[in-house]
């Protein structure tokens, strides 16, 4: 059984790694905040002092961190993953990051005889906990086939999308769709509230019809209950939309819906909501309409 390295134990990474631990693999783990890995080490994962040490003691290394700058540091920086790799290893970035960075990591890894995948995920905290994530991978196709059993510990909808960067481009398509869907979702619930309807009853009806969406059926009930805890941080969603808009400009592609959605979420950050869940966009629309939540 392969030894697995894992870097990043945030809202999603912790649950994803726990699935690997529970399958009986020896797991080496590193996180910037050691306390966040305590549940994993209590189950048998071995703490390592840095990403390099994780790689030195593992066969496959997975990482899911916050921002592209974190990805660059973890994979390419001093004491980073590539400093600890050996020929024949596989390294996997599951962070939502920049396609161009995925290509740089792929090329740097290939120069050392190492296979690399960019494999961002979708499904939030619920998908991570329930091992129902979508995994969209780009990079070395043979490496994808080799680590597919590990991906299956975490998700159900798993696909190889093409060469390095293809996984990230697919995730950008996902985030573009979610961004505008979230705007529609919070507007429809605010309308229901203002009309005097019970939000949960509305969700139960329209969530089974043509208006059904993952966001409505998963985040809608949280809004109805006043639960704005993060399944996915607003600050990370703004980062994702920024990447998508940058890539769109490079392709001479105009996406005004995405640009508008990003502005609403930037308003959320200006309100101090950056560490709440993406469903907290509802609070922005409440304020715009003078409604006290």
| Residues designated catalytic | 171
Q: Which helix H or strand E contains 41, and what residues bound it?
A: helix 38-42
Nearest to 93 by CA among 114, 72, 122, 123: 72
Q: Are 72 and 63 in contact (CB under 8 A)?
A: no
Burial 87-105 (b: 16+ CB within 10 A, else e): eebbbbbbbbbbbbbbbbb
- Helix 166-194 with 234-250: angle, nearest 10 deg: 120
Tokens of 199: 């939000």
CA–CA distance, 42 with 213 (Å, rounded to integer): 37
Measured CA angle at 206 (ends 284, 266), to 5 deg:
20
Residue 120 CA, distance from chain mean position: 6
Strands 60-63 and 90-93: parallel
Round the CA-based radius of gyration of the chain to a whole number and report it.
20
Q: Which residue in 73, 72, 22 sits closest to 50, CA to CA?
A: 73
């Amino acid at each position: 059984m392969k030894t697995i390295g894992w870097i990043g134990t945030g809202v999603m990474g912790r649950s994803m790694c726990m699935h690997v631990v529970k399958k009986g693999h020896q797991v080496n783990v590193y996180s910037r905040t050691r306390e966040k890995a305590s549940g994993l080490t209590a189950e048998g994962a071995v703490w390592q002092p840095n990403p390099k040490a994780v790689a030195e003691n593992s066969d496959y290394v997975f990482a899911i961190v916050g921002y592209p700058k974190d990805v660059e540091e973890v994979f390419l920086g001093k004491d980073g993953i590539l400093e600890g790799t050996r020929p024949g290893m596989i390294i996997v970035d599951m962070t939502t990051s920049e396609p161009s960075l995925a290509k740089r990591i792929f090329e740097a890894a290939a120069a050392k005889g190492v296979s690399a995948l960019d494999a961002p995920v979708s499904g939030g905290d619920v998908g991570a906990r329930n091992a129902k994530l979508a995994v969209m991978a780009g990079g070395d196709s043979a490496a994808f086939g080799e680590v597919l059993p590990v991906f299956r510990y975490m998700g159900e909808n798993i696909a190889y999308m093409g060469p390095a960067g293809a996984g990230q481009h697919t995730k950008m398509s996902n985030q573009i769709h979610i961004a505008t869907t979230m705007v529609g979702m919070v507007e429809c619930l605010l309308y229901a509230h203002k009309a005097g309807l019970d939000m949960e009853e509305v969700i139960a009806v329209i969530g089974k019809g043509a208006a059904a969406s993952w966001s409505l059926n998963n985040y809608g009930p949280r809004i109805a209950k006043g639960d704005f805890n993060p399944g996915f941080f607003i600050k990370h969603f703004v980062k994702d939309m920024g990447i998508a808009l940058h890539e769109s400009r490079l392709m001479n592609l105009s996406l005004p819906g995405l640009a508008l959605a990003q502005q609403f979420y930037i308003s959320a950050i200006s309100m101090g909501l950056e560490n709440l869940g993406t469903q907290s966009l509802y609070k922005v629309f409440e304020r715009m309409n003078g409604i006290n939540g």
